[in-house]
Chains A and B, each alone.
Chain A
Amino acid sequence: MKKSIFVTLLILSLGFLFSSCGTTRIASFPQMYDEDPVVMLIMPPINNSSAADAKDYFYTTMNVPLAEAGYYVLPPAVTMATLQKESAYDAEKFVEGDLKKFGKLFGADVAVFTVIKSWNKSLVGSAVIIEIEYIFRSTKTNETLYHRDARITCDTSTGVGTNSLIGSLLIATADAIKTAATDYVSVAVKCNKSALKDVPYGKYHPKHGADKELSAMPEKINISASK
């Protein structure tokens, strides 16, 4: 009995390790290590979804995961005011353009673009399905240093289980109401945290420069993030 538990644990651990070790960060994002950027400028998200507020949800939640990854992230509130003043609020104009002026004006090494492609609430139940692209471009070379194309299903359910049909229907209704009133800021937080967890560590992270062999996710991902 004991032996079977340990063998199961071993198989599970090995399976998890192999499934999470598709490729390394140095292989996936070599230019992040070559340029070793320090200062990140969060650009206002490009919102192609039907959710009008999605732009603000994502703008206000981008600096935390990048600061936690060890970067100096430019202060978002005064940065936004400056971008508006400089007529640079519409990031669409710059996502493929020359970024050198942002290096000069803000001292930024990287401009972080997000393109929200869709934001859909499930009709029954409690999921929000978001398609989003993250593009980190160098203000020195205009090259893309990091790219992630993500489809994220964010579960916002009540988390209460039931075995009866009526119980399931009641919970489905409660979840639908809850989803409608959900604080979508936390949905954006979960999305960013899940989709950007393999960003190479920056200057202020204790593992800066020592994470090259850590696993990286594929460029295109389809993941679940629970609240």
Chain B
Amino acid sequence: MKKTIKIIAITMFAFLFLSCTSTNMYSWYNYQEDYYHYLKNSDDKSLEKLTKTYQKIIEKQTATRGTVPPGIYADYGWLLLQSGKTAEGKAMLAKEVELYPESEVFVASILKRFK
């Protein structure tokens, strides 16, 4: 009886512990704060910081999916297009569609604006 209670208690506690542990699918680094500061200020400093974070997200994914999160290639590509880096920007947008085919409708409409 004692042993059964012990086993049930340990199993349930382990289950709870495991179910409460969340694992991220993507590595975001300081993305949310950097994006907020860029949206708020739109100055060179916040743009530079956000650009570096995009590059880090693209280059270093250590979370469970091991792939770049949705929207990152597209937003980075759009910023590149706006700064006149057309070839680089278009390449980023193409990567977004390659990784996430459901982005095609919107990416095509972005590219139309930069023809």
Contact = CB atoms under 8 A, between A and B. Distances in A.
A3 to B, nearest CB: 6
A204 B109 CA distance: 24
Contacts, number: 118
Interface in B1-46: 2, 5-6, 8-10, 12-13, 15-16, 24-26, 28, 31-33, 35-36, 38-40
Nearest to A61: B32
Interface residues on B, range: 35 or more
Contacts of A186: 33
Contacts of A79: 106
Given A67-B26, A73-B70, A9 B36 contact: no
A57 B40 CA distance: 9
Contacts of A81: 78
A63 B71 contact: yes
A186 to B, nearest CB: 8
Interface of A: 3, 6-7, 9-10, 13-14, 16-17, 38-39, 53, 56-57, 59-61, 63-64, 67-68, 70-82, 105-107, 183, 185-186, 189, 204-206
Interface of B: 2, 5-6, 8-10, 12-13, 15-16, 24-26, 28, 31-33, 35-36, 38-40, 64-65, 69-72, 74-75, 78-79, 96, 100, 102-106, 109-110
12 contacts: A6-B5, A9-B9, A10-B8, A56-B36, A72-B102, A72-B103, A73-B70, A77-B38, A77-B39, A80-B39, A107-B103, A189-B32
